[in-house]
Copies of this chain bind each other. A is one copy, B any other.
Amino acid sequence: MYKIIKKDGNAKRAEFSTVHGVIQTPVFMNVATVAAIKGGVSTYDLEGIDTQVVLSNTYHLHLRPGDDLIYRMGGLHKFMSCDKPILTDSGGFQVFSLAKTRRIKEEGVYFHSHIDGHKLFMGPEESMRIQSHLGSTIAMAFDECPSAKAEHEYVQMSVDRTTRWLERCKREMDRLNGLPYTVNPHQMLFGINQGAIFDDIRIEHAKRISEMDLDGYAVGGLAVGESHEEMYHVLETTVPYLPENKPTYLMGVGTPANILEAVDRGIDFFDCVYPSRNGRHGHLYTKRGHINILNARYEYDDSPIEEGCKCPACSRYSKAYIRHLLKAGEMLGMRLCVLHNLYFYNHLMVDIREAIEKGEYGAFKKQMLDSMQEFDGAEQKGKYNIAHNWRKG
């Protein structure tokens, strides 16, 4: 299933075979939280931006439209008309970050919906059943993601419980894959390493979950408040204890620089909302750094966002046009910006794969980091004057 084609230092160039196609890694997964990429991007737009894998969210889809509905519609691939591999997040992170008044017990988490406040419960079995209903290519284990600021004692207790939850996840996923009328009887399960920024807990947990024969291993609980240096340190400490013959996934990360550094520490899979979220605010990635297309300097700029870029936006439209669309509150402006940013991320991964194949990853990384200024990735909500008149006119 997972075949390493080439190693360059700790950076890996690999292929991961799934029932929905072969994934070339390192790979960036394009986020479609509620079964659609934000910004009006359709699944038939995905070829044009070279998307390999789509990521959707268990928590969000469970609340709306409901995983039972998606099951009855034939599963997530059919529902959203997507023939590419889909990874579903387990809902764990959202239960802990979005849901209200949660109580964590051994059996799982009691919480209230962030949409309408109604009472819900999710544990390992529930998460697996929802993901089995969705029929994603890869399901993620249900875990607790402790705060980067949590105490050692709490993190140890939490991670021990997450390990017990993982065992329950695996048992339940095995059972579900064997049932009749399962959407995807070959659904894979990735475990998630936790431990905040504590080396001892991270390493011990990595060893324990490595003993379970899972399809892949994620490093979770990062990009939640710790520094970039702490994140890189966790990867350096933890990844060596994860199985070499399985893909690794750094959840929810991150900036182009984060990805370049994490690949160098052995990571295969990435996902992040930055390209789509920043795109909707007119923040665009280029190989020479980021630009804010709402800046007045682009008002009369008839060049594309990035010269030579083959994305659907740069192939046809100028900065002046896209800037006008955003200023006028036209959805098309957001859509073009999101398409450009996703294309940028997907092609950063193409370049990363090529550099590893050539055994030039170190030099490539340095050159990219030098040429790109660091994009801060911070959400810029409300900072810029983008009109909201979707239904007018």
Question: B residues within 8 A CB of A73?
Answer: 300, 302, 318, 320-321
Report A353-393 residues with CB < 8 Å from chain B CB: 381, 388, 390-391, 393
Asked whether any CB of chain B lies closer than 8 Å to the CB of A155, the reply is no
User: Closest CB of chain B to A167's CB: distance in Å?
Assistant: 31
Dominant secondary structure at the A interface:
loop
User: Is the beta-carbon distance between B321 and A42 smaller than 8 angstroms?
Assistant: no
Taking a contact as CB atoms closer than 8 A, the residue among B74, B327, B336, B391 that contacts A65 in the complex is B327
Q: Contacts A64-B324, A327-B65, A331-B334 given: A316-B43 contact, CB under 8 Å?
A: yes
Q: How large is the interface on A (under 10, 10 to 19, 20 to 34, 35 or more residues)?
A: 35 or more
User: Is the beta-carbon distance between A300 and B72 smaller than 8 angstroms?
Assistant: yes
Taking a contact as CB atoms closer than 8 A, the residue among B36, B38, B69, B318 that contacts A320 in the complex is B69
> What would 12 more interface pairs be, CB under 8 Å, given A34-B325, A73-B300?
A34-B328, A35-B325, A38-B330, A38-B390, A42-B332, A42-B336, A44-B312, A74-B302, A81-B316, A273-B393, A331-B335, A388-B388
User: Is the beta-carbon distance between B81 and A40 smaller than 8 angstroms?
Assistant: no
CA distance A79 to B299 in the complex (A): 12
Taking a contact as CB atoms closer than 8 A, the residue among B320, B327, B332 that contacts A40 in the complex is B332
CA distance A60 to B320 in the complex (A): 16
Which residues of A approach B to under 8 Å, CB–CB?
33-44, 60, 64-65, 69, 72-74, 79-81, 273, 277, 280-281, 299-300, 302, 312, 316-318, 320-321, 323-325, 327-328, 330-336, 381, 388, 390-391, 393
Question: B residues within 8 A CB of A312?
Answer: 42, 44
User: Is the beta-carbon distance between B281 and A391 smaller than 8 angstroms?
Assistant: yes
CA distance A318 to B35 in the complex (A): 13
CA distance A335 to B320 in the complex (A): 23
Question: B residues within 8 A CB of A80?
Answer: 317, 321
Question: B residues within 8 A CB of A302?
Answer: 73-74
Question: B residues within 8 A CB of A65?
Answer: 299, 320, 323-324, 327-328
Residue on B nearest A386 in the bound complex, by CB:
B391
